[in-house]
Homo-oligomer: A and B are copies of this chain.
Amino acid sequence: MAPIYLAIIGLGGVGKAFLSQLAALQLGSITKPTVIFASRSSKQLYNKDYTSIDASTLDSSSSPLLSLSDLTSWLASAPGKVILVDNTSNQDVADSYPSFLENGISVVTPNKKAFSSNLKLWDDIFSSTTPSALIYHESSVGAGLPVISTLKDLTATGDQITKIQGVFSGTMSFLFNTFSPVSGSGSGKWSEIVSQAKDAGFTEPDPRDDLNGMDVARKCTILARLAGLKVEGPDSFPVQSLIPKALESASSASEFMQKLPEHDQEMESYKEDAAKQGKVVRFVASVDVQNNKVSVGLEMVEKDSPIAGLKGSDNIFVFHTKRYSSSPLVVQGSGAGGEVTAMGVSADLIKAVERLS
């Protein structure tokens, strides 16, 4: 049987965790794929004759740079099937997926951008797949949690998704579980909690990249499309930004953090309103398939709902379907981090290798 080749783009946090999982991957009687290409930022490592490389030596040795289109041609000519693992969040690489697939190169990736940008890219990607040019992207939503695979299984076996709801961001989960807990009244002002989360590394370096809701909107876009909705993009439905209007023009993260306390009262009164109704505040993503409505934003939720009961920085995905109508199918757990994101990628790689072998 012809060997299966692996090309790996991106060796940051997720990429490094992926490499270590790859070394220990359990493929049963199937031959492990041969790594022939690795890249990070502006470094690449490969042998023109497709012989195996040691991706971990990329930092110390490198090869002449190939453009994405050169890379595509070179991989397309490999003497065996090729799987490209894209561990970046790069839009240019994502934009190349249709071309990779058309050239018979399978793609395995956690890169959200490929599936949450304009609908044309989505259509181009999925119309370019064939039984030998596959695409797998479990970790594009909820990292290693079985979210994409579960949704695909539900729809492919004929279930009807009525609604998908949940908390799709570990950062938002942490912020609101702390700010508006089910028991007690919370242990700080909104701005203090954001500041603590930033210091602990629970937010992006610039917390506005979490607070604008776009990360959640991208995940909603992916789930909505998989559930059958024609969503144009993450900016084509209502997304509530938690960046106060007056701070939209802040020139830096530090200016933003400095001025955020001036707006604590808005969040505080929303929380108090919720408390009066016996509810808590959560940043909820909602894909209402039945009514073709997608939305992301603050909601007051019942204290005994699974969404309210989240702990730490856990994500939760609640699938309401025709089959799971009396009670929903729920998947919950850590939805971010190098190890669990790489796990989704590695598990997808196994599935791709099994199908291509």
In the assembled complex, which residues on chain B have CB atoms less than 8 Å from the CB atom of A159? Answer: 343
Closest to A30 in B: B131
Q: Distance in Å from the Cβ of A81 to the closest Cβ of chain B? A: 14
Q: Which residue of B lies closest to A126 (CB)?
A: B28
Contact B146 A150 (CB under 8 A): yes
A25 CB to nearest B CB, Å: 7
Q: Which residues of B contact A183 (CB under 8 A)?
A: 304
Q: Which residues of B contact A350 (CB under 8 A)?
A: 153, 156-157
A332 B333 Cβ-Cβ under 8 A? no
The smallest C-beta distance from A147 to any residue of chain B, in angstroms, reads 9
Q: Which residue of B131, B314, B328 is within 8 Å of A327 (Cβ)? A: B314
Q: Is the CB of B332 within 8 A of A131?
A: no
Are B343's CB and A154's CB within 8 A?
yes
Interface presence of A149 (CB below 8 A): yes
A144 within 8 Å of B by Cβ? Answer: yes
Rounded to whole angstroms, the CA-CA distance of A21 and B154 in the bound complex is 11
CA distance in complex: A150, B147 (Å): 10
* Contact status A157-B333, CB under 8 Å: no
Q: How many copies does the complex hold?
A: 2
Contacts A26-B155, A357-B131 given; does A327 touch B343 at CB 8 Å: no
- Are B326 and A25 in contact, with the CB atoms below 8 A? no
In the assembled complex, A347 has its CB within 8 A of some CB on chain B: yes
Contact A329 B332 (CB under 8 A): yes
A29 / chain B contacts, CB cutoff of 8 Å:
130-131
- Total A residues in contact with B, Cβ cutoff 8 Å: 55
Could you tell me which residues of chain A, from 301 to 347, have a CB within 8 Å of some CB in chain B? 304, 306, 309, 311-312, 314, 319, 323-324, 326-334, 339-340, 342-343, 346-347
Distance, CA A354 to CA B25, complexed state (A): 21
Contact across chains for A330 and B327 when beta carbons are under 8 A apart: no
Query: Of B25, B157, B319, B330, which one neighbours A157 at CB under 8 angstroms?
Result: B25
User: With A21-B158, A157-B21 known to touch, is A311 a contact of B327 (CB < 8 Å)?
Assistant: yes
Cα–Cα distance between A339 and B160 once the two chains are bound (Å): 12
Q: Per a CB cutoff under 8 Å, which of B129, B314, B324, B357 touches A333?
A: B324
> Which residue from chain B places its CB closest to the CB of A311 in the assembled complex?
B327
A319-B333, A327-B333 are known; give 19 further A-B pairs, CB within 8 A: A21-B158, A25-B157, A29-B130, A30-B131, A144-B153, A144-B323, A144-B329, A146-B146, A146-B149, A146-B150, A157-B342, A157-B343, A157-B346, A157-B350, A159-B343, A323-B340, A327-B334, A329-B333, A330-B330
Q: 8 pairs across A/B with beta carbons < 8 Å?
A: A21-B158, A30-B131, A146-B150, A146-B153, A156-B347, A323-B340, A330-B332, A354-B355
